[in-house]
Structure 1
Amino acid sequence: MIVILKPEANQTAVDHLIHNFEEMGLSTHYSQGAHTTLIGLIGDTSKIDMDIISANEIVASVKRISEPYKATNRKFHPNDTIIEINGKKFGEGFFNVIAGPCSIESEEQLISIAKDVKKSGASFLRGGAFKPRTSPYAFQGLQNEGLKLLSQAKKETGLPIVTEIMNLNHIDLFNDVDVIQVGARNMQNFEMLKELGQCDKPILLKRGLSNTIEEWLMSAEYIMAGGNNNIILCERGIRTFETMTRNTLDISAIPLLKKISHLPVIVDPSHATGIPWLVKPLAKAAVVAGADGVMIEVHNNPAKALCDGPQSLTPIEFDHVMKIIDSMVATELKKMNR
């Protein structure tokens, strides 16, 4: 439920109204935008008498949100959420690139790639320490040692780091991680999402292999219900009947999410297709569709990579893609008069 306030509502009356809602056992979210100020209510609102609330002198109108996702809903939060990490922003026209190897293999490999992607203009370094693999016999990542190498790369380059969590028992190992990634396989690991709702780090939430947009937003809702509103959605392709690509990138999800939700959205073109030469056109499509960033896999020797080498770009290829992205983003920002 959302309570839209009159423009002349004074803060004392607003605070009193919020206090009354909280005494009813409801969680509240106060949003003051350029044109609309509202109070979002989360909880059991079925017993609330809308007529009584509407009669309040500072209330303009009261509306129920019919969608099951509440906190992630743009009706609840009209303005874009902007997430700032180490001076870099996601949302409302700010565009950032996350880049790095699928899996951390060695100190030399990671530091070399980190320096290359930073030189090309990437804002964040990604790298898998704990790797979810379909086969139990495949390389599972360097794990704790991988996290230490990520921290070292962060110190040497200044790039904030992004890596995936696979087990809540590892959460204390992620103290130096700037953005915790929840992978596609864990998108509906609700116990994990609840726990991440209690932490103060931004969460990069990937879409599940076969999940709908509503299910994806409901997963984000779990995190927000715990109090963590710093969520970046990542479209990484979904499983369809098509066999010529690894997955099918749902490019329509970007403008759709920007319409119905206030959360920033990025695209992972590497996992979407598994084909390196498709990364550039899909990254371009992400910019035009209104995404807030892209995440691209980069490896200095893809042919010998221990994980997902075939979909990775070389540093030279990544540099070429970055030049195109930078030009396109600059053009889009001019259109927005930023």
Structure 2
Amino acid sequence: MILILKNGVSDEQIDRVIARVEGWGLQTHLSRGTYRTIIGLIGDESQVSQETLSSLPGVSQVIPVLPPYKLASREAHPESSVIDVSGVKIGGGQLGMIAGPCSVEDRERMMRIAESVCESGANLFRGGAYKPRTSPYAFQGLGEKGLEILRDVGDRFGIPVVTEITDPRNVELVAQYADMLQIGARNMQNFVLLTEVGKSSRPVLLKRGMSATIADLLMSAEYILSEGNPNVVLCERGIKSFDPSTRNLFDVAAVPVVQGLTHLPMIVDPSHATGRPDLIPPCALAGLAAGADGVHIEVHDCPEEAKSDGPQALLPEQYKQILQQMRLMADLLGKTISPLAGTAGKPDHSPKNNPQPPTEALA
């Protein structure tokens, strides 16, 4: 970090700052300019917080040289990570196509929807067994029964399944059924949940919070990585805006921005971003054009009967059409939709690929 000192700072104050910093085990480099005096810090900066340094008398500003999300940053891991979800690869030019209803409903319906999206070319099936809802009276999900249905669907069609985890007490239970754990927008900064998911070997789909900055998203990913789970896929799903034309504001520019800052892959979710079926196809294509590593789309065979988020779901035939277009876009960009591994059954609990970034990156 670099400390920029206030104008007119006295030599006595400078000596005190240097003494305090060196007392924390850091080395200092003093540089006096015509208008500014700065002190560079050398060593393990984790020993002192930016807030503590800012409070030192004579310090005007503290500028970090490295980002606070050290494990998630490209400085720690220059090569882009490829996340393996039970054989389906996300990142490195391979695209994850997640499709399915918002909520797990009855078994027959889930089988029909899964069959249609698999035939269209989806490589991950999604459905919520636990639903964080704004109203306590809204449908909350089927719980473990929903997990069982979701697992049966995955086994039947040989497709990895993704479901949301809302409670840190349920991480072990959900991980028994799901190939990938989703952290929804409302829980992006549920740090207890992030910590528990980080202790799991399951890949994690981390959605950006509705009011979260990009730095907030990457710091949430850092919680998971710091607990030993390197398999994180980020998701842009729209942020809050003053304009009611769409459910959220689809921040497509976040994709290349994030990819410049982190090695973690990032997908887009135009369903939650727009809330409008007519806008999902163009926004999905825009996300891929911006460099996204996959697309998450809600699909339901009868949206008016959906337990949740029916108005923003595509019909299976609509999904088939947009996936054909996304396949053409992928070909144009030199990317491929990752094929299914071709093996069904519950996922094992062994760690996935992408080893933990080297510990020296923490320095």
Report the TM-score, using the length of structure 1 for normalisation.
Answer: 0.80
Whether the 8 Å CA contact 1:197–1:227 is kept in 2: the answer is yes
Deviation at 1:44?
Answer: 2.7
Letter in 2 for 1:75: E
1:189-208 correspondence runs (5 A)? 189-208=190-209
1:275 and 2:269 correspond: no
Deviation at 1:303?
Answer: 1.4
Letter in 1 for 2:153: A
Q: Number of matched residues?
A: 279
1:264 and 2:270 correspond: no
Partner of 1:160: 160
Letter in 1 for 2:107: E
Letter in 2 for 1:258: Q
Question: Structure 2 vs 1, CA of residues 115 and 147 (structure 1 numbering), >3 Å: closer, same or farther?
Answer: same
Partner of 1:32: none
1:173-184 correspondence runs (5 A)? 173-174=173-174, 175-184=176-185
Select 1:44's aligned residue among 43, 46, 51: 46
Letter in 2 for 1:193: L
Report the TM-score, using the length of structure 2 for normalisation.
Answer: 0.74
* Larger RCO (CA within 8 A; separation ≥ 6): 2
* Deviating 4+ runs (over 2 angstroms): 41-46
Deviation at 1:43?
Answer: 7.3
Letter in 2 for 1:116: S
Whether the 8 Å CA contact 1:65–1:75 is kept in 2: the answer is no
Structure 2: give runs of 5+ residues left out of the alignment: 2-42, 49-63, 337-363
1:1-338 correspondence runs (5 A)? 44=46, 65-174=65-174, 175-333=176-334
Structure 1: give runs of 5+ residues left out of the alignment: 2-40, 47-63
Whether the 8 Å CA contact 1:103–1:307 is kept in 2: the answer is yes
Measure, in 1, the Cα distance between the counterparts of 2:47 and 2:298.
45
**Percent of residue pairs bearing the same amino acid type:** 48
Aligned partner of residue 321 in structure 2, secondary structure: helix
Measure, in 2, the Cα distance between the counterparts of 1:326 and 1:42.
46
Aligned partner of residue 209 in structure 1, secondary structure: coil
Letter in 1 for 2:199: Q
Measure, in 2, the Cα distance between the counterparts of 1:193 and 1:43.
24
Deviation at 1:89?
Answer: 0.8
Whether the 8 Å CA contact 1:179–1:201 is kept in 2: the answer is yes
Whether the 8 Å CA contact 2:95–2:335 is kept in 1: the answer is no
Aligned partner of residue 95 in structure 1, secondary structure: strand
Letter in 1 for 2:218: L
Whether the 8 Å CA contact 1:42–1:71 is kept in 2: the answer is no
Question: Structure 2 vs 1, CA of residues 237 and 327 (structure 1 numbering), >3 Å: closer, same or farther?
Answer: same
Measure, in 2, the Cα distance between the counterparts of 1:128 and 1:112.
16
Aligned partner of residue 113 in structure 2, secondary structure: helix
Whether the 8 Å CA contact 2:98–2:125 is kept in 1: the answer is yes
